[in-house]
Structure formats: structure tokens, C-alpha cells
Amino acid sequence: MQRRLTFAASSNVTLIAALLCASSVPAAEPESADLRYFRELVETRNYSLGQPVSPQITPDGKTVIFLRGGARDPVLRLYEFTIASHSLREILTPEKLLQGAEEKLTAEERSRRERERQSLRGFTSFQLSKDGSKLLVALSSKLYVITRADGRIAELPGSGWIAPRFSPDGRAVAAVNAGELHVLELEKPADIALTSGATETLQHGTAEFVAQEEMARHDGFWWSPDSQSIAYQETDNSGVESRFIADPLHPETPPAKNFYPRAGTRNAKVRLGIVARTGGPTRWVEWEREKYPYLARVVWKETTAPPCIVVQNRLQQEELLLAVDPKTGATREVLRENDAAWLNLDHKPMPVWLKNGRQFLWTTERGGAWQLELHSADGALLGAVTPANFQLDELIDMNDSDRSVVMAGGSDSRERHLFRFSLDAKTGPQQLTREPGRHDAVFGDAKENFLHRFDLLDGHAGWELLRSSDGNKVADLPSVAEHPSSLPQVELLRTEGQRPMDAAIVRPHAFDKTSRYPVILDVYAGPGHKQVLAQPDRYMIDQWMADRGYIVVAIDGRGTPGHGRDWERAIRGNLIDIPLADQVAGLQALAAHEPAMDLKRVGVVGWSFGGYFSAMAVMQKPEIFRCAVVGAPVVSWENYDTHYTERYLGLPSESPDGYRASNVLTYASKLSRPLLLVHGLTDDNVYFQHSVQLSEALFEAGKNFNFLPLLGTHMVSEPLLRLRRQTRVIDFFDVELKATAH
């Protein structure tokens, strides 16, 4: 039977392009100016390549260690910057270790990088020993320790290692191999297997899928601060559903097996054990694991404070902070949080203990917005450090000596500034950054200086070293990144009306205010992510589309972060009705502000949740949206993972109406506008199954649509693939929106 389904022209070329893993885009034929501009964007990763990555100040405060690639080279190398002399030294390159061989990754390492959205190559991370004398890097699943004093490089025995970590005393490295946790002693070389019994379904020392993907917890073991013990996770996937991903170009290769807990199905069973560095029996940590199955956080950093864990119930409406007795595994409740909708997890692992062990810091939304609190060791609240009207993004640093903290946040959710607060409220907050844009910082043990990351609205971006006492610049971290040939023409604003929303308008460089332009809504509209940021590189692809003759807009409505608890939790129980109403209201408000927007010619494009929204928008609001590009959409939430889906919709058995209302298939028969569906065949986050379900429903309903399958995962980072995909997207919009409105 012939299906009424159109595969986009040349889709086979795109499939092959995904396999090339090209670091640059071949120019096989003369390109137009707009394609040259997009080539520049993708080859420089929006001009981020060549900037320092993951810089750290050494404990003595004299040196900065960082990773860096080339301006159009995604392979990261290791560098040392001496502060006093402003001199730069290349410590080590992947090329030196590989000696002409190709970098090889295990399936486990590829999966970890996918979960971390890591698309660079070479040394993707490094570790500095606590005393600063040694560096640890991994390459091709092998481990290397570099002695900084003499530059000596020692390759540790074995291969297949993932997640390596120095012990706090710097005398050993713990890492995982084939599902088992090992300690590699450095002074008297030895490989000590701390765990045993790993199988296909039983793993030690690694985080389960939902912890990595949804909890922002990528670690599966934690050294004790005295280096004598390790806490580690045991993951039992025996009750978790299996999913298989095949390589369509190599049908002779067996499919890869993944454990993926769908909403309403069984999760991995997780428990936490503590074992001596030298091996021996494991002491299992005891808590009500049936009632609180999610191990969300593990913190064990201070010798004066107990190890702590944060556990959540299945619906994420209750969580406990538990102190652990490492000698017995017994736990005691320190603090309890409840929320009738759901509890968000701070990306900064909480609690953060003061060195005296008598107080700790804790973040909460209990008062209606994120706040930092100071608690005594028994959990009693001593006071709020930040006020409720301060939009807190993240705790950056704590200084025990003067009892102060540096926080990221501010009054404008589109920007991100740095502030210093006193823990004792002796003084008001000190604002450390003021230039419009997004700011971040990295502190070391020596507090004299700190590293400042800036992405400014005027296009300046980079890293600099600032003096803590007065904020004056000490040095710039050397960068080889290219500078944009032009900046986006973006206007940031708050919409008018009953419910003001953050919004952005990107106009063509050759904008004519007397003309009428078709509109592209670049959308996400889902929880945990903002589209509207005071950061120019966020809008560079939008500018590329705008210069083809469009006005491109972005809107953050209810459900997105940055405007307090009630704003974000308005979507509980239904993931589409409120976001869709807000995006439509936002479009109408922006059109009143910018008369050149032609709301009779509106297209929508999004990826992941944005793809889900795009499909829903064109099906439910065809009078607003003329066409949609639907990228890697979640189509049926019953087929997405537990921790994300149940946070917003609850269990399928208890919330069938919410799941039905939030399901794209419920509305597939209503499609009356053109739709381009794009999805990676080997996506292990939003499985290709979702787009197949949608294509089947549309075919059975007699609907015409375009389908572009790609070889690749949920990330699209390779330059050639990004170029071909984006060209197909804009060509689709040209056909559907450039014609005379009707």
C-alpha cells in the first residue's frame, strides 16, 4: 500500500551527511552570501570554538588551567595560563597521546556525552588534584595523570574507563569499568575492584538514565573527604523496559539495547553503598526506598559534616534531606520539602556545608521563588540569605572566611548578574556585574581573584580574571575564537497586556518598516528552558532566517522558568493549553508593537519540547499558524521518561485526561496546514518511535506532510548536518510563507 507521506527530497544525502562527522562544511560549489554566513556559524559553533572551556584556578591562586580548541576545531587541548606573567603554555594535546590513531569511545562514554550534551572532542574534561600538583584527563577510554612540576605523563593501566575522579588526597583515581567501581592507586600502582557482580542489568558506580537526563546528576560515586571511603550507587535495571536502536545503514549490526523507563512503568531500583578505599564489605545506606525511590543528590565534601542525600517520592512532590552515618548506613531526617505541584531540583547540589559543620546552605521555592537559606546542622532555619524578590539562578561560591556567598540572578530574568550576599545580613547585596548580558564566575580556594565569564548584549564574550576586592581586571584568558562578522538585530522587550511575557524580535538587517514580513516563531515553550535571553549568540540562526525576509520572534510564557513558582507550575496536568494560549497572545502583542509583522503568514519551528509545541500549534490553531517545522517531538507522553513526564502530568493511570489532552495524536486528524517532521533515527532521548507514531496517525487520517529522517541522535552538532537541516527548514518556510497571504 502506498502511503500518502512525502519524504523530503534528497533525504538520503542528509542521512549520509550525518555519518561524515565533518568538522567543517565542504564548499563543493559556489555559495550564496547567506549560506556562507551560516557555514561560518556552524563551523565556529556560534563563535564559541576557540574560547577557554572549564577553566579552574589552581589552589595557590597563581595559575589557570583550561581546555581550548581552535577557532573552527572542536578538538579540546589542555592549557596553563600563568597569572603573574600572563604567559600561556600548552600542556598536552590529544594528538600527542593518540599518535595518529583515531579517538575511540565506548558505548557507555558515548551515552554519557549525549546525556551531558557534550559534542566537542579530545579532552572533554580534566581534573585538578586538590593540592594542584596533578592533572587527570581521559582519552579514548584511557586515563592519564600529568605531574605539573615536571610535565611527566603517566598512563594508568587498563582501558574502557569512564567517570574518573581523583581522591581528595591525590594519591588515587576511582573510575568505572564494565559496570564495576575500581580504585587505581598511584604511588604503589594497584587496581582494586571495589564492587563485583555486575551484569547487563546491574551496574555499580554510574547514575541511571533519568538521573543523568532529568536530574542533572551525572555522578555515580563520591569520595569521602578523608579519601578513605567511597559512596557509590548500585543500579538494578532488571525491571526497566528495554528499547532497541538499530543502525539503518548497517542492518547486519545488532541493535543497541537501552533501559528506558516510560511514564507509568517501573524505574531502575537504586541504592547507595559505602565501601573502604581498599575494598571489603559494603555498608548500605538505609532510607524508605519504596516511598522515596529517586536518589536526587549525594553530597560528601566536608570532614566536619556528615554525608547527605536528597531523595524524592515518585511524583516529586515530597523530598527529604537525610544525613547519613557512614559507619552504620543509618540516616536521620534533617529537612523536608513539599509542593502540591512538583519540586524542582537545584542544579547546584544541595546542601552546601560551611567548614565548621554547624551550618549549611539550602535553596528552596517554598516562599514562591527560589531563595538561598542558612540552616543549622539539625535543619532549623536560621534565616533567608536572599530576599524573595531576588530572582536567584545559582549559588556560585561560598567564602567561609568572610561568611559571604556569590550568587547569580537579578531582577531581569533575561539577564544574569553576579551578586555578593552576607550570610549574616550585616550588609546589603553587592552587585558585581552591570553590563547588560549574561555573567558567570568560577572561584578557586584562593579568593584573591576569580574568573568571570561574560556574554554581553554588545557582542563581547570571553573569560577574564578579576580581583575580588574591587572587581578590577587582572588578565584576559587567551582566546582564539573568531568574532562575528555582524550581530543579530534583536530587540528584547516585555509584552503588554494582562500577562507580560519576555519576548524577542529579530528583524532583517535590511529591514524596511514600510513592508510586511512573514513571521517565524522560534519556540520551546516548555519547562526548564528560556528562549529569550540577553545573549546575542542565542539569536544568530534566527538572524540568518530573518535575513531571508522574515521577522523571527521568541516568547517565554507560563511554564518557563524565571518568574516564580506559580508562573512555572501553571502547566501542571496539561502541557499544551496554557503554553499555546500564551504564545498566541504573545504573537498578537508583538504584532501590535511591530506593525511589519504579518500575522496572516506565521510559521513555527521547534526542537524536542519545541517540536511537540509546533505540532500542537499547527493542528489546534491553523488560523494562526500557516505551517510548522516539527523537530524530534514528544508525541505521546506515555512514551517519554518517568521523571520528566510524571513531574508535570502525574501517573498515566491517575491522570488519563491530562495525558490525552497533552497527546499530539489526539489532534492529528485536524491537521490542515503544511508540516515538516524531522527526527534522528538513533535518538535515545525522544525515540524515533514518536515521529513514526505521528506519521502513521497522519497517514491514516489522509493528511499530507513532509518527513525528513536523519541519522543521528537528539543533538545536532556536526556542521554539515546543521547546514543541510537548516537549509531544508528555511526552504520549507519560503515555499509556505512567501506566497501572497490568503
pLDDT bracket for residue 1 (50, 70, 90): very low
In the predicted structure, residue 115 carries a pLDDT above the cut 90: no
In the predicted structure, residue 28 carries a pLDDT above the cut 70: no
Q: What residues make up the domain containing 729?
A: 6-45+483-737
The pLDDT of residue 29 is: 52
The pLDDT of residue 247 is: 87
The pLDDT of residue 30 is: 61
Say which range, 10-19, 20-29, 281-290, 343-352, has the weakest mean pLDDT.
10-19
Confirm whether 702 is domain-assigned.
yes
Q: What three-state secondary structure class fits 670?
A: helix
In the predicted structure, residue 56 carries a pLDDT above the cut 60: yes
Q: pLDDT tens, 65-87?
A: 999 999 999 999 999 999 999 99
Say which range, 111-120, 505-514, 541-550, 724-733, has the weakest mean pLDDT.
111-120
| CA–CA distance, 388 with 385 (Å, rounded to integer) | 10
Confirm whether 179 is domain-assigned.
no
| CA–CA distance, 167 with 183 (Å, rounded to integer) | 9
Confirm whether 258 is domain-assigned.
no
Q: pLDDT tens, 664-682?
A: 999 999 999 999 999 999 9
Q: What spatial distance separates the first Cα and last Cα of the chain, rounded to whole Å?
A: 35
**Overall number of domains in the chain:** 1
> The CATH number of the domain where 676 resides is what?
3.40.50.1820
In the predicted structure, residue 4 carries a pLDDT above the cut 50: no
Q: pLDDT tens, 247-271?
A: 888 899 999 999 999 999 999 999 9
In the predicted structure, residue 5 carries a pLDDT above the cut 70: no
Q: What three-state secondary structure class fits 608?
A: coil
Q: pLDDT tens, 647-662?
A: 999 999 999 999 999 9
Average pLDDT over residues 309-314: 98
Confirm whether 643 is domain-assigned.
yes
pLDDT bracket for residue 740 (50, 70, 90): low
The pLDDT of residue 139 is: 94
Say which range, 190-199, 462-471, 708-717, has the weakest mean pLDDT.
708-717
In the predicted structure, residue 8 carries a pLDDT above the cut 70: no
In DSSP terms, which residues pair with 630 in a beta bridge? 606, 677
| CA–CA distance, 608 with 523 (Å, rounded to integer) | 10
Residues 6+ apart with CB under 8 A from 318: 292, 312, 336, 337, 338, 343
Count of all residues that appear for the chain in the document: 742
Say which range, 2-6, 344-348, 545-549, has the weakest mean pLDDT.
2-6
Let me know if 615 is exposed, middle or buried by CB neighbors in 10 A (0-12, 13-18, 19+): buried
Confirm whether 652 is domain-assigned.
yes
Q: pLDDT tens, 559-611?
A: 999 999 999 999 999 999 999 999 999 999 999 999 999 999 999 999 999 99
For every residue of 48-76, DSSP letters joined together read TTTS-EEEEE-TTSSEEEEEEEETTEEEE
- The rounded mean pLDDT for the chain is 93
Confirm whether 198 is domain-assigned.
no
For every residue of 267-279, DSSP letters joined together read PPEEEEEEEETT-
Q: pLDDT tens, 128-165?
A: 999 999 999 999 989 999 999 999 999 999 999 999 99
Confirm whether 628 is domain-assigned.
yes
Q: Is the peptide bond before 351 cis (omega within 30 degrees of 0)?
A: yes
The pLDDT of residue 100 is: 83
Confirm whether 672 is domain-assigned.
yes
